Structure 1
Amino acid sequence: MLQKISSRQHQILDLLMKNRTGLSIDEIANALDISRTAVQQHFVAIENESYIKKNTLNKTAGRPVTIYVITDKGINYFPKQYAWFSELILSDLQDEISPERFRGYMQRLGIRLAEKLRDRFEGKNLEKRLEELLVIMTDLGYQVETTDNGDPDHIHMQAHNCVYHDLAQQHQEICQFDIALMSNLLDRNVELLTCMAKGDCTCRFNIKK
């Protein structure tokens, strides 16, 4: 999950994004009108997060200069809008196949991702599997938690946001992706009780113990 950075650190990343060959501390300090010390302090945070890395620029005369370049992780810090492209693909796919096949396609995508993550769940009991699932869902961008509903046979998991809310409103079959992913990773039956794409306040999942 990408860590929150300060506005000044965001400015530094923005500068490095626009200067992909890299900039020195002095160049960044001059561009932002701050001290070298201030730049170095900000570098500690964003370098620790692997948003930037050091490169050495060999000068034809004089000592080599240390410059900093933005990494792929730093580039990915900036938001990207893929919803329009996803909507185009999903709409075209839905026109090509039946609703049942489209629903099944979303389920297969969830199962495929679960297979890639399965080694993180092997040998764990349900409690540990739930903990690992919360980590994965958080990494995917969800604000999610388990809740005690007083039911001895079921556990509730609640998501306060939907990472593809707009898409799910147009294609509610997308929810089958989450259900298939969760049920396969937990090795339990998972039922969607409420859904934000249908106007509910949260997405609530019922997990059989």
Structure 2
Amino acid sequence: MSKPGLPPLAAFSDRQQTLMRRLLAAPEPLTADSLASRLGLSRNAVDQHLKNLERDGYVERQTLPSTGGRPSHGWRLTADGIHLFPKHYAMFSDLLINMIKDQSGGEVLGRYMESLGASLADQLRERVQGRSEAARIDALVELMKEVGYEADSQPEPGAELPLIDAHNCIYHHLASRHEEVCRMDLALMEGLSGRQVEHVECMVRGGTVCRFRLGRRLTDSDESS
């Protein structure tokens, strides 16, 4: 699983993937000449690949220690370049959640999830502060998209506020095993919208979307509890 917002490694050409794998495995930055030799490519071809990857933020230059001659530079992956490679976040998260649930029970796990959602809302609150309610809901949908949800809002007949739909579940594996995980998203949405959020439909539990309804305004005591 790549970092949210980044393309999968398979989106790159075979040569770019091979080049990035070489950089990932190298303990020190590699020069373009070294990469050309290792990959069996011309220096011009390697320079072009590096130029494109540097433009998009996946590789960067680093000045190499001087050997008395003309200063030279090598190439290494940036943090975003490293994040392109698959990672087993889901496995780690599953192990951690299982441990908490086994030791402390589902209700404690649920409270942990709510605390995580509330903490994330605190970090993101400046993105919605000072906005009208409609603009806050739009900003909430955009934030959901940024972390990987295919989200949108749509009017609900007879209701003051729109429904928010997520057409995918970014925690599907975890949520299918631990329903408490959903409480994190609910706490995040409540913290940013300032309203109680009802999870009226859930993909993990047979729904076609994850659908959220915004309810009554939260009081200060609600938000701090």
Question: Structures share a fold, TM > 0.5?
Answer: yes
2:222 is aligned to none
Deviates more, 1:37-46 or 1:87-96: 37-46
- 2:192 maps to a residue whose letter is L
1:6 and 2:22 aligned: no
Q: Is the contact made by 1:20 and 1:69 (CA closer than 8 Å) also made in structure 2?
A: no
Residues 1:46 and 1:147: Cα distance change in structure 2 (over 3 Å): farther
Deviation above 4 Å: which 4+ runs of structure 1?
none
Tell me which residue corresponds to 2:221: none
Q: Are residue 22 (structure 1) and residue 29 (structure 2) matched?
A: yes
* Residue identity matched to 1:132: A
2:155–2:161 Cα contact (<8 Å) kept: no
Gaps in structure 2 of 5+ consecutive residues: 217-225
Instruction: Give me the CA root mean square deviation.
Output: 2.2
Q: Tell me the equivalent position of 1:89.
A: 96
Answer yes or no: is the 8 Å Cα contact 1:155–1:208 preserved in 2.
Answer: no
Within the alignment, does 1:46 sit opposite 2:29 as a pair?
no
Kindly state the Cα deviation for residue 142 of structure 1 after the two structures are TM-superposed.
1.9
CA contact (8 A) 1:25 1:36 kept: yes
Q: Which runs of 5+ in 1 are unaligned?
A: none
Give the TM-score normalised by the residue count of structure 2.
0.82
Matched residue type, 1:156: L
Compared CA separation, residues 34 and 129, structure 1 to 2 (3 A) = farther
Counterpart residue type for residue 195 of structure 2: R
Query: How much does 1:77 deviate?
Result: 1.6
TM-score normalised by L of structure 1 = 0.88
Q: How many residues align?
A: 209
Q: Aligned runs of 1:112-191 on 2, under 5 Å?
A: 112-191=119-198
Deviation at 1:158, TM superposition (A): 1.6
- Cα distance 1:147–1:12, how it changes in 2: closer, same or farther (>3 A)? farther
Are the structure 2 counterparts of residues 45 and 108 from structure 1 closer, same or farther at C-alpha, using a change threshold of 3 Å?
A: same
**Structure 1 residues 157 and 34: CA distance shift in structure 2, 3 A:** farther
> What is the identity percentage for the equivalent residue pairs of Structure 1 and Structure 2?
36
User: How many angstroms apart in 2 are the aligned matches of 1:129 and 1:79?
Assistant: 34
CA shift digits 1:164-200 (9 cap, x unpaired):
2111111101101001101111112221121122132
CA contact (8 A) 2:141 2:164 kept: no
1:52-108 deviation digits (Å, cap 9, x = unpaired): 111122352532222111122211121211222222221221122243333222112
